[in-house]
Amino acid sequence: MSLLDTINSPADLRQLDEKQLKLLADELRSFLLGSVAQTGGHLSSNLGSVELSIALHYVYDTPGDRIVWDVGHQTYAHKILTGRKGAMAGLRRGGGIAGFPRREESEYDAFGVGHSSTSISAALGMAEAFHQTGSGHRAVAVIGDGAMTAGMAFEALNNAGATELPLLVILNDNDMSISPPVGALNNYLAKLMSGQFYAKAKKASDLVLSKMPPIKELAKRAEEHMKGMVVPGTLFEEFGFNYIGPIDGHDLDVLVETLRNIRKLDGPQFLHVVTRKGKGYEPAEANPCLYHGVGSFDPAVGITEKVSAKPTYTQIFGDWLCDMAAHDQRLVAITPAMREGSGLVRFSEEYPKRYFDVGIAEQHALTFAAGLACEGEKPVVAIYSTFLQRAYDQLIHDIALQNLDVTLAIDRAGPVGADGATHAGSFDLSFLRCIPNMLIATPSDENECRKLLTTAFMHNGPSAVRYPRGGGPGATLEEGLDPVPVAKSITRREGCKVAFLAFGTVLAECIKAAEELDATVVDMRFVKPLDEARILELARTHELLVTVEENAVMGGAGSAVSECLAANNATARTTHLGLIDRFLEQDTQENQRIACGLDAGSLIKKVHELLSE
């Protein structure tokens, strides 16, 4: 039996001799690689956090002590150590365990995550709760260097630094983006500065020297100078944290001793840990981006970057962006740290001076775009639907209120499959539609996506085009960059009695259903402004109007149709189909759509039920 097979909980882990931890790390990394190669998932970041996960559960008394993992891309080792090794075969699959920490899944998942930069705020709240109840438990936030670019992380640091709470923030720096390579000297100093002797000596000297302000100030400057020579901690110490590190995040001896020392300290502590993405698997170390999110693959062979014969909507957008940039020199592209995911790699290479990755800072991305628009540029913000939620005030106050010419290219609209509820684009039509000055388009296929992106870009004012994850039906792409008339729908099929009003890529399933039902199908194209004339005409000529969308029904495109009918005193039997009123659990996109009744078979069944009433 392997050492890993004996670990069913952190309590089992804490029974091991410290000398056994290195072997456990090797076994855990090997199991993790084999498991993710079978199921797919996030690989590079998880290979890099094996030792850190072991050390945290070895030193801290979990689940009483709380470990809050930011985003969750680095928690597979944590899941395995907390009794979910056998469940890894169902990772990110329907009915299986989630790819991110989830409170409903385990008592060891202290906080549900998926969006970036929330860990410090949540852990601070937990630390304050422990203080209020006198429990003596500790709270730890583990945050990556990418997530530290978000304003929310610094808001939490600012708040935490003004307290005396024993909060530990661990910066898992896996891109070497902040510090140079670390060595024995830095590890030694980190252990020294985290020890009780250093903490007590510093406190005692502060008390003594406080009677002599000039000497105390001189000593403080000398200390800062010495620490600044070997650690980049000045910024975090200014926030009120005791900075420790950087240390080697793959050296278990150093990690365990440093964490033991820190757990005894009072006040906010900041530990800087340097790890390597893809650690232990050479292909992932060489290309961590390629191995960030993977499908099934053979570890002995590795994976190669593939270009699908049928382009995804993301690729359609990326190609359109380059074509439009060649046509209009004012176009600039902005992404909040999603260059690859949003299809901006080609643009960043061909137009580097017009490409801006602002980091994980969605609020800043939109107001930065607003500033560019004020001076005559035409910014396109490429952003996932679920991340646009994080910048809602900026969209309303900084863009729409001033009617600025900013185009939102909204990727991952609707169900997203294995990423589940945290990444599903379920609400954008509802929260966009109520904003004045907005133009909102929902392309039904790849060619419509290009044309509606052009229309939105040429529109003088704020606009949004939403499209789903993955590929479309394979429509032939027209050449050129011609816009389409705003608020003009297209009738894709003429029928009788029933009319499907399709918003977006649900059109294909509507057409399949209409063939059996002999129904009319209208590709609505625009949610705002609507083609009101066509809606009123359909209300006069059909017994039943069925709106279909991949968005929450409440407040979505269907609601807009009902509002149009009511405003014009039109009476028509109408039903609205869209995403169900609960968060979409992880599964395949096809199964998620079936669960919401958005496949052709479900549409046919629903219409028959309505007509028989």
The catalytic site residues sit at 277, 362, 390
Residue 272, strand partner residues: 171
Task: Return phi, psi of residue 495, to 5°.
Answer: -150, -155
41-42 and 293-294 strand pairing: antiparallel
Residue 103 · residue 111 · CB < 8 Å: yes
Contact indicator for 447, 477 with CB cutoff of 8 Å: yes
Q: What is the DSSP string of 454-521?
A: HHHHHSSS-EEEE--SSB-S-PPPPSS-----TT--EEEE--SSEEEEEESTTHHHHHHHHHHHT-EE
The burial of 65, by beta-carbon neighbours within 10 Å (0-12 exposed, 13-18 middle, 19 or more buried), is given as buried
Q: Within 10 Å of residue 421's Cβ, how many Cβ atoms?
A: 18
| Token digits of residue 364 | 């800043």
CB atoms within 10 A of CB 163: 15
Q: Are 452 and 477 in contact (CB under 8 A)?
A: no
* Dihedral sign (CA 8, 10, 11, 17): positive
Q: Which two tokens stand for residue 588?
A: 């395949």
Task: Say which residues have a Cβ less than 8 Å from residue 386's Cβ, sequence separation at least 6.
Answer: 115, 412, 416, 422, 423, 424, 425
The per-residue DSSP string of 101-120 comes to --TTT-TT--S---SSS-HH
Residue carrying the six token digits 């560019």? 372
Q: How many CA within 13 A on the CB side of residue 31?
A: 23
Dist CA 394 CA 363 (whole Å): 6
Q: How far is CA 109 from CA 89, 92, 144, 213, in A?
A: 19, 16, 18, 47
| CA 418/CA 293 separation, integer angstroms | 11
According to the 3-state scheme, what is the secondary structure of 353-407?
HHEEECCCCHHHHHHHHHHHHHCCCEEEEEEEHHHHHHHHHHHHHHHHCCCCCCE
Residue whose C-alpha is closest to residue 519's, from 599, 596, 607: 607
Q: Which two tokens mark 390?
A: 């994080």
Q: What are the structure tokens assigned to 143, written together?
A: 């945050």
Q: How far is CA 150 from CA 244, 424, 436, in A?
A: 22, 21, 28
Contact yes or no for 265/202 (Cβ under 8 A): no
Instruction: Give the closest residue to 317 by CA, choosing from 292, 347, 294.
Output: 347
